[in-house]
Amino acid sequence: KLRTPAATTGPAVTPPPAADGDALLEAVGLTKSYAGADGDLPVLSGIDLTVRAGEIVALLGKSGSGKSTLLRCLAGLIPASSGAVAYRGEPLTGANPGTAMVFQTFALLPWLTVRQNVELGLEARGVPADERARAAGQAIDLIGLDGFESAYPKELSGGMRQRVGFARALVVEPDVLMMDEPFSALDVLTAENLRGELMELWESGQFPTRAVVLVTHNIEEAVLMADRIVVLGSRPYGTIRETVEVGLDRPRDREAPAFQELID
Ligand code: ADP
Ligand code: MG
């Protein structure tokens, strides 16, 4: 059964809540090539991946291994060349209605205030103004931006800008939060702070999403945050070589496993 994703047609979807372990995102035999001057450049080949409710999955690989491409395919922002991507069992025909994205370089609109940037995701889904204001206020408080509602992005530090990026994604309460190297444009201390706060929210159950997909090239970050690490090999391009299960016990106090060799 195919249906048009609600994200492109109307109000925010409110599917029944997923139980821990339910499959939210699935890629089956996913292949992606980009058209290049010398023919197609294969980036992902034959990827099978399931993201389940209750888990944080890290996609780990070095630059150019296809992490962002895989994330965008799962979010329905670009089409697969072959294979399928499904959200809750329904094949995607456009933007995934169950995901929202946080970008490495924030992607805020400079002429809009913090509050207006945060409301954007809701506007796109046709949510009425009073409900937008309520939800944006909640997301702004949750992510530590209260007092900055009327500020413009250029008045904020990098860390605060990325908080706006998080609030804008979380405000729609997506089933799956997608993050593409969300900390790599921040200085080390700012990144560590923000990571720690997010993990506290996640672990305390206040994070308004059911799963997280984190793209990173940072092994320590993947180990700190993820329940499962999916390593994208670079040869052949983007074939998932290994899924590394990282201990399910929280809070985290463990060492990075030695899988650097998997990435090279
Ligand atoms: P990563 O996020 O792991 O750094 P990407 O998914 O961005 O990797 O890119 C994987 C490969 O695909 C790289 O070789 C990159 O140059 C290429 N690529 C990415 N986006 C495009 C595009 N829009 N058109 C052509 N090639 C692309
Ligand atoms: Mg990338």
Model confidence over 196-206: pLDDT tens digits?
999 999 999 99
pLDDT for 10 equals 43
Ligand number, closest to the Cα atom of 179: 2
Residue nearest to atom 13 of ligand 1 (CA): 64
Q: Is the CB of 64 within 6 Å of ligand 1?
A: yes
157 CB-near residues (< 8 Å, 6+ apart) = 190
| Amino acid, res. 4 | T
Counting from 1 in the atom list of ligand 1, the atom nearest the Cα of 65 is 3
Cα separation, 219 vs 110, in Å, equals: 32
233 lines ligand 1 (CB under 6 A): no
Q: Say if residues 202 and 179 touch (Cβ distance below 8 Å).
A: no
Q: Please identify, by atom number, the ligand 1 atom nearest to the C-alpha of residue 180.
A: 2
For 54-107, the pLDDT digits (tens) are: 999 999 998 988 999 999 999 999 999 999 999 999 999 999 999 999 999 999
In this predicted structure, what is the pLDDT of residue 256? 53
Which residue from 105, 147, 140, 110 is spatially nearest to 122, judged by alpha carbons? 140
Ligand 1 centroid to residue 67 C-alpha, Å: 8
Q: Which two tokens stand for residue 118?
A: 């945060």
Query: Which residues of the chain fall below pLDDT 50?
Result: 1-12
CA distance 148 to 127: 23
Residue in 34, 65, 181 to alter for ligand 1 test, most ligand atoms within 8 A of Cβ: 34
CA of 173 to the centre of ligand 1 (A): 28
Q: Whose CA is nearest to atom 15 of ligand 1?
A: 64
pLDDT of residue 91: 96
